[in-house]
Amino acid sequence: MKSKKEQLKVIVFTAQHKIQGKLHLVENSRLSDILNTESTSRDFLPVTDAIITNLCNHTVTSAGFLSINKKQIEMVMEEHEIKEIKN
């Protein structure tokens, strides 16, 4: 039986990459719930429609699906929470 999933548009930063895509959450869960869960079955976050930017050489690639190791994540933001500040 499949559990119902919700998609959350996120930007994930690792030491070497910026990843924009849709993170898949179990229905009625929060991003913080998934990040704080300590379980070997939840070491990786599923992301679809990913755009991956290499922060060293600025090359951009895409992937329909990827799994991100939670231990490599330095920062995660929900895309709708981002506000550009103009000087």
Q: Please tell me the pTM assigned to this model.
A: 0.78
Contacts of 86 (CB under 8 A, 6+ apart): none
Question: What is the percent of the chain with per-residue pLDDT over 70, rounded to a whole number?
Answer: 74
Q: Which domains does the chain have, with CATH numbers?
A: 5-81 (2.30.30.100)
Per-residue model confidence (pLDDT) at position 57: 96
Per-residue model confidence (pLDDT) at position 24: 82
Of residues 10 and 34, more confidence is placed in: 10
Average pLDDT rounded to a whole number, residues 58-84: 89
User: Which residues does residue 76 pair with via DSSP β-bridges, in sequence order?
Assistant: 12
Separation between Cα atoms, residue 77 and residue 20, nearest integer Å: 10
Of residues 19 and 45, more confidence is placed in: 19
